[in-house]
Amino acid sequence: MTSLLQPYRLGDLSLPNRVVMAPMSRVRATADGLATPSMAAYYAQRATAGLIIGEGAHPNRVGQSNPGTPGLATAAQAASWEQVTSAVHANGGRIFAQIMHGGRVSHRDTTGLQPVGPSDLRVAGEVFTPSGPRPASAPRALETGEVPGQAASYAEAARRAVGAGFDGVELHGANGYLISQFLSSEVNRRTDAYGGSVANRIRFAVEAAAATADAVGADRTGIRLSPNGVIWGAVETDVLDQYTALLRELARLGLAYVHLEGTADEDLLLELRRAWPGTLIMNPSVPGEPKWTDRSAADHWLGLGADLVSFGRAFLANPDLVERLRTGLPLAPADESTYYQGGDRGYLTYPAHAYAA
């Protein structure tokens, strides 16, 4: 059976193990979306992961979802990431940037702009703003002629990311953000070439992936998906048909990997594993649910055909997670109150395991 600690070849990268650090928003960037020295230290602490996938970075101003998140929208934002990629590489690690366009999950007070989405349907509930949680702003439906420009924004951000030293990029196509909104039959009410049928609903995701692969290389491009997920109201129908069709198109592009979340039942996820001929990263947990990915879940999915397994919350309080998995050490709990509060407490203050003298 494949072992979590076995090496793996991902494109031109030699991964020393199959442990992936999942992307997690920590909102520690500056107000203008710059990465910081603390962020460099945070990722460098976790460089023993086979692959780190960084937190979601917005590709343009309208794509920013939350305050305090980093960007890849400007040259200055890209340059600020060089300290992060250099620190990870100096510690022997590998890191991809996640490119995240929030779409309708945003607020005017955060960006100064009206959010955009496939349709003009407002998100139910509150989003983060500089002054605290507030009801989401009503989005504007993108005009047909505007949609290719938003797809191209992922490619433009990817060029900046690779220029800043990232080893590749992951498109955030999950969890109710812009790509996921186009995939959702509930959120996407369009009647043009980007809505209605399965072929039309997957079009935006395919165009974004194709543009990015063309910009930085397919072997440097991955995508994260949450089939049958309902986060931010992005309910989907025809899930198996839709994702099978999407994976078929992505396979033609030769992407580096697909990163699936455990948002569907195991039988459906196994169907998608069979439909995807390339590298599969599996994240068995579901955002917002209490169960973390652990060694048991990782071994289970490696046995079912996943190539790599991503761990999210387990990495927060365990910068030495790979060593703890290797030796069977207990995992330290994370303080949820510090997930998004800013500052170094609950960010850089978790120690590696202390062995008794």
Q: Count the Cβ atoms, other than its own, within 10 Å of residue 267.
A: 8
**Cα–Cα distance, 112 to 22 (Å, whole number):** 30
Strand partners, 260: 225, 282
The sign of the dihedral angle between the CA atoms of 189, 185, 70, 108 is positive
The backbone torsions φ and ψ at residue 83, rounded to the nearest 5 degrees and listed phi first, read: -65, -30
177 catalytically annotated = yes
In 3D space, the residue among 335, 357, 356 whose CA is nearest the CA of residue 346 turns out to be 335
- Distance of CA 40 to CAs 46, 161, 200, Å? 10, 15, 40
Number of H helices, E strands in the chain: 12, 14
Query: Distance from CA of residue 131 to its chain's centroid?
Result: 25
In 3D space, the residue among 197, 157, 190 whose CA is nearest the CA of residue 64 turns out to be 157
- Distance of CA 335 to CAs 200, 236, 293, 345, 347, Å? 42, 33, 17, 10, 10
Q: Is the Cβ–Cβ distance between 23 and 170 less than 8 Å?
A: yes
Residue at 149: amino acid letter: G
3 exposure class (CB count in 10 Å sphere: 0-12, 13-18, 19+): exposed
Q: Is the Cβ–Cβ distance between 255 and 205 less than 8 Å?
A: no
Residue 27 tokens read as 């909102």
Q: Is the Cβ–Cβ distance between 212 and 231 less than 8 Å?
A: no
Catalytic residue among 177, 257, 347, 350: 177
Q: Is the Cβ–Cβ distance between 70 and 57 less than 8 Å?
A: yes
**Cα–Cα distance, 310 to 32 (Å, whole number):** 29
The catalytic residue positions are 177
